[in-house]
Copies of this chain bind each other. A is one copy, B any other.
Amino acid sequence: MSLSSRHLLGLNGVPKEDIQLILDTATTFREVLERPIKKVPTLQGKTIVNLFYEDSTRTRISFELAQKRLSADTINFSTSTSSVKKGETFKDTVRNIEAMKVDMIVVRHKSAGVPQYLTRISKANIINAGDGLHEHPTQGLLDMYSIKERLGKLEGLKVCIVGDIAHSRVALSNIFGLKSMGAIVSVCGPATMIPLGIESLGVKIFTNIDEAIAKNDVLNVLRIQLERNAGTRIPSLREYHKYFGITSDRIEKFNKEIVILHPGPINRGVELSSEVADGPYQVILDQVTNGVAVRMAVLYLLGTMH
């Protein structure tokens, strides 16, 4: 069994079989992570470049750990220490890196479409680690893995994505992936944060968080990205919390099981109360662990294709 594409650029259009294969493979690596020796020799002698044009600690470390646990050699390239300053074009930088015979490139960039562009100028396998407001497919995959781990399935589950949908690549990757796997996806957030026409992707819109809680099995609660001017789209963090923050009171009102995801870092007291962030419904740290397993699966499947 192998994936139908040499790259992972997004979850839009990825066949259900591919997603299933990645999630199944991740299960194997998830077990490896519980062993005393968390390392397999699968990608020994392969070189992977982490090309991060946006800062990201957790995603970069998660990928780097996944790479090292597959025994690959890892090179970190970040704009702060790069020849970008010397006025080299992005294309020349990438072609240079590729000329050093790298096997895979993990790329994060503020512009949507950069990973797609890389597939045209490089022979390496390209993995999108977040491109602008477009997609962040390994986040979508680890979210699906974490939901399935908790609830045993994805098909037929009702999943609501809460927050700034309009400015979230995590939201888009979740919508595409979850719908492929047969989940019923909705979004919930202030009107300023819901993109016009989102219904065309086949998602329902909730404007009331209580209704969203009542009618869904899973909430995937996005981070309010203050570093990306989210503050200009809401009156205040306090008001956001009042109307859309997930609290124990809100959940317990409905006397039901619910699963709460968050991609982190959490703004405690904004998207989630601290009680919820540390409570029985959330799977936030499982997401982090599963993220390493899912990335190992993606790197393994792409790195061993013929």
Contact = CB atoms under 8 A, between A and B. Distances in A.
Interface string A84-101: 011111001101110111
Contact of A88 (B56, B96, B265): B265
A116 interface: no
Nearest to A306: B36
13 contacts: A36-B45, A47-B69, A56-B83, A61-B77, A61-B97, A65-B75, A68-B73, A68-B75, A69-B73, A78-B81, A99-B289, A100-B288, A101-B292
Given A33-B101, A45-B39, A73-B69, A89 B292 contact: no
Interface string A237-272: 000000000000000000000000000111110000
Nearest to A64: B75
A288 B86 contact: no
A37 interface: yes
Interface in A195-239: 226-227
B39 A100 contact: no
Contacts of A83: 56-58, 264-265
Interface in A31-83: 33-39, 44-47, 55-58, 61-62, 64-65, 68-69, 73, 75, 77-78, 80-83
B47 A87 contact: no
Contacts of A47: 38, 65, 68-69
A288 B36 contact: no
A285 interface: yes
A87 B292 contact: no
Given A36-B45, A37-B44, A47-B69, 12 more contacts: A38-B45, A39-B44, A47-B68, A57-B83, A58-B83, A61-B75, A62-B100, A86-B227, A92-B268, A95-B285, A99-B288, A100-B289
Nearest to A45: B37
A38 B102 CA distance: 10
A61 B101 CA distance: 12
Contacts of A44: 37, 39
A85 B35 CA distance: 33
